[in-house]
Amino acid sequence: MKVFLTALRENEQISLFEAHAAFSKRHQLESDPSASDLILIFGSSALDPKRLLECEVYRKFPDRCTAYSEEDYFLPLLPGIHTSAPKSLHTRIGRIFNFAYIGRNGRHANRYIGETTAGAPIGATAVKHYLFSFLGGSTSLVRKRLFNLRFNRSDLRIENTSTYWHWDNSQPDRYERQKCYAESVAASHFVLCPRGASAGSSRFWEVMAAGVAPVLISDDYELTPGPDWDKFLIRVRERDVAKLPSILEPQLESAAERGRLARKTYDEFFSIESEFDCAVELAARALRHGPPSEEYFRRRHGAMFRKFQWKLKSRAVLREAALKTLRALHLKNPYQMNR
């Protein structure tokens, strides 16, 4: 398949994807959109809807165009690939697929996890101190609940790292904190991957790359088709986070094998060598999605954008109302954990 790549704005993701195309065994880059079979547009339709719909390539070849976005915001004006899409009509009919973050191997990558250390995943042979661990920011209600729980066990590690901002390379203690996180992942039988600001989390892919068994805690996240997830992944409902020790302890003997299979799956579908072919094939599937037709979604672009804006405004209003009520009652609110 001949693939043409373009971006709404210059970004690192398209540069990485172009570089990784060199490993492709099934597809090739095309410099002329008119000669391509598939067009992949990088960027956020939620942040740049007008720029996307007025993109010259999209206007000329709408039936070949798909989108790729790593934004937390979800506005599927085009079929294609997202990293944190919630379950919806778009995921049910195969118009939108979730995939690993291409940007995870870019300038913000954790150098202590990477894809390999001395030729092997960091979690494959490390001494295990924790039944499970989670180090992360307080960016969702399920994470806030995790930080409030008291499991009263010494073999668990739960730590709120909201003062660390992964996307800021200028932090003076950045590498020390990245190393601490990588060591915690390696020392765990299981690593929790709760939803963040959106349905997914880049942590999920880091844990798989590390060769450690992931525990996905996100009721709305739609897994990428292809991998045999049931062989290694444990899914826990968001409402059951207090039961994590009793859920995971019986699985302890399978943790090492789950970690091995997680890394094997990562290599097959999501590694630097594999991701170009796998992402291209998902984007091609998105073009052939089930009913309703793509023409139906094009007619609804305006309505989709208005609904998206309404959701953002409604969420902000409800959040502020809840905070005012809690302040009036002198009660602690969950958002205080971000400070």
Domain presence at residue 335:
no
Domain presence at residue 14:
yes
| Pair 212, 183: CB distance under 8 Å | no
Final residue of a structural domain among 229, 252, 269: 269
Check whether residue 225 and residue 128 sit in a common domain: yes
Domain presence at residue 216:
yes
Check whether residue 224 and residue 124 sit in a common domain: yes
Cα distance between residue 281 and residue 224, in whole Å: 12
pLDDT over 60 at 116, yes or no: no
CATH code: domain of residue 170: 3.40.50
In degrees, rounded to 5, the angle at the alpha carbon of residue 211 between the alpha carbons of residues 155 and 146 is 40
Check whether residue 168 and residue 142 sit in a common domain: yes
| Pair 309, 114: CB distance under 8 Å | no
Check whether residue 140 and residue 218 sit in a common domain: yes
Domain presence at residue 321:
no
The predicted structure's pLDDT at residue 200: 94
Considering only CA atoms, give the Rg of the chain. 21
Structural domain that includes position 146: 109-269
Check whether residue 90 and residue 162 sit in a common domain: no
Domain presence at residue 152:
yes
Length of the chain: 339
Q: Is the dihedral of CA 136, 164, 13, 95 positive or negative?
A: positive
The predicted structure's pLDDT at residue 90: 97
Check whether residue 210 and residue 258 sit in a common domain: yes
**Buried (b) or exposed (e) across 181-213, using 16+ Cβ within 10 A?**
bbebbbbbbbbbbbbbebbbbbbbbbbbbbbbb
Domain presence at residue 308:
no
Check whether residue 121 and residue 245 sit in a common domain: yes
Average per-residue pLDDT for the chain: 91
Check whether residue 44 and residue 128 sit in a common domain: no
Check whether residue 212 and residue 253 sit in a common domain: yes
Task: Annotate 265-296 with DSSP letters as a single string.
Answer: HHHHHTSTTTHHHHHHHHHHHHHT--SSPHHH
What is the count of structural domains for the chain? 2
Check whether residue 163 and residue 133 sit in a common domain: yes
Domain presence at residue 337:
no
Indicate the range of 66-80, 201-215, 313-327 predicted with least confidence. 313-327
The predicted structure's pLDDT at residue 93: 98
Cα distance between residue 289 and residue 240, in whole Å: 34
Phi-psi region of 4 (alpha: psi -120 to 50; beta: other; left: phi over 0): beta
Cα distance between residue 227 and residue 197, in whole Å: 25
Tell me the pLDDT band of 47, cut-offs 50, 70 and 90. confident
SS3 83: coil
Cα distance between residue 37 and residue 30, in whole Å: 9
pLDDT of 271-307, one tens digit each?
999 999 999 999 999 999 999 999 999 999 999 988 8
pLDDT over 90 at 112, yes or no: no
pLDDT over 70 at 119, yes or no: no
Q: In what order do the strands lie in the sheet with 188-194?
A: 156-160, 130-136, 188-194, 213-217, 234-235
The predicted structure's pLDDT at residue 333: 54
Average pLDDT estimate for 296-325: 83
Distances (CA, A) of 316 to 8, 54, 228, 311, 322: 27, 29, 38, 9, 10
Average pLDDT estimate for 148-175: 88
| Pair 122, 210: CB distance under 8 Å | yes
In degrees, rounded to 5, the angle at the alpha carbon of residue 281 between the alpha carbons of residues 276 and 283 is 95
Cα distance between residue 101 and residue 107, in whole Å: 13
Domain presence at residue 237:
yes
- Report which residue type is found at 76: P
pLDDT over 50 at 118, yes or no: no
Check whether residue 139 and residue 249 sit in a common domain: yes
Final residue of a structural domain among 269, 284, 310: 269
Final residue of a structural domain among 269, 289, 312: 269
Check whether residue 91 and residue 210 sit in a common domain: no
pLDDT over 70 at 339, yes or no: no
Q: What is the DSSP letter of 246?
A: H
